[in-house]
Structure 1
Amino acid sequence: MIELIVVSFKSIHDADRVLVQLNEMQKEYLVDLADAVVVLRQPDGKLNLKQSIKLAGAGAASGGISGAFWGSLVGLLFLNPLAGLALGGIIGAGTGALAGKLVDYGIDDRFIRSIGEKLTPGSSALFLLIRKVQPEKVIAELAGFQGTILRTSLAPHQEKKLREALAHAEEEDTRKEEAL
């Protein structure tokens, strides 16, 4: 079952840092991300979205290959396969890129923007769709980050563990500041 988790951070850079760490954990098979989006609320209030899956590039590549193949076949019919290959590749890449831009894969952009608008300027949020996770290991790896859960589809006991881990990181940070 795919789970949705949305966590906000006080720093504009923390959501990116957590995503980098999650991508490393994905290489170790500790987590399997279906989609991830980083939302940055700039100090001037402007909202930036960073999609982790670039569909336009993938669509252009697959469209180019498909277009080149079909263009070559049509070109053979008219005894000019090279022209068909070139023209088919160009048209296929263009339509593939357009289709990739128009497809909304994973987390709905309207949902992301509606939550992002509520962030305070100078902060960030991380939107995750998680296929599989080893919660104890992932939470232990991310213990140094302090965040606030905004939305989740986790079971109540799993959400409680995540909230406790994030609160623990904030408590440790407060103790370090007081010691200084």
Structure 2
Amino acid sequence: MSNLVVVGFPKVEEAEEVRRELVSIQQEHLISLEDAVVVEHDAEGGVHLRQAINLTTAGAVSGGFWGSLVGLLFLNPLVGAAVGAGVGAASGALTDLGINDNFLKEVGESLPRGSAALCLLVRESTPDRVVERLRRHAPHARLLRTSLSHTDEDRLRGLLETASKQAEALRLT
């Protein structure tokens, strides 16, 4: 079972930096993510979702490949590629994997203007080691929402607060 974790940041750049760091941490097998979306509430009041994977593009590439393959069988690979890319892009645009976009927009609307949140769908992790690695990237992070148990949520809050204090102490020295 996956857990949803939403962490707030005062700036979108901090959320993006943490997402980039999580990708490298994932390569070390300290965390396994199903989805990682940065939600921005801009200064004008608009909400923007910055998905980790562009499903429309992925669908177009996949559809183009399969369309070309089918087109080769019928001696018309260019038409097959074009049709396959179109169908793949359409199916990718209609597919919503990971965290529900409506939920993400609700999160964005609840954020103060100019701030952001990193929404994670975590399959499994080693929270203490992950937070330790993120300490310098997320000194102002705060836990907004989660589907963790109360015990795990309190533990994660404690880790984030400790990391925030340690990062602040390092910055002052």
Same fold (TM over 0.5): yes
TM-score by length of 1: 0.86
Matches within 5 A, 1:22-41: 22-41=22-41
Counterpart among 101, 116, 124 of residue 124 in structure 1 = 116
Counterpart-to-counterpart distance in 1, 2:167 and 2:31: 26
Counterpart-to-counterpart distance in 1, 2:103 and 2:37: 11
Segments of 5+ residues of structure 1 without an aligned counterpart are: 76-80
Alpha-carbon deviation of 1:72? Answer: 2.5
Matches within 5 A, 1:122-161: 122-144=114-136, 145=138, 146-161=140-155
Contact 2:131 2:163 survives alignment (8 Å): no
Alpha-carbon deviation of 1:112? Answer: 0.2
Match of 1:45 in 2: 45
Say if 2:78 is the partner of 1:96: no
Counterpart-to-counterpart distance in 1, 2:148 and 2:135: 18
Contact 1:71 1:86 survives alignment (8 Å): yes
Alpha-carbon deviation of 1:167? Answer: 2.0
What is the RMSD of the two structures over their aligned residues, measured on CA atoms? 1.9
Higher alpha-carbon deviation: 86-95 or 36-45: 36-45
Match of 1:55 in 2: 55
Residues 14, 97 of structure 1: alpha-carbon distance in 2 compared, 3 angstrom cutoff:
same
Counterpart-to-counterpart distance in 1, 2:166 and 2:126: 24
Q: Residue deviations 1:86-122, cap 9 Å, x none?
A: 1011100111011101111110000000110010011
Identity across matched positions, percent? 39
Q: Give the letter for the 1:149 counterpart.
A: L
Segments of 5+ residues of structure 2 without an aligned counterpart are: none
Greater Rg by CA: 1
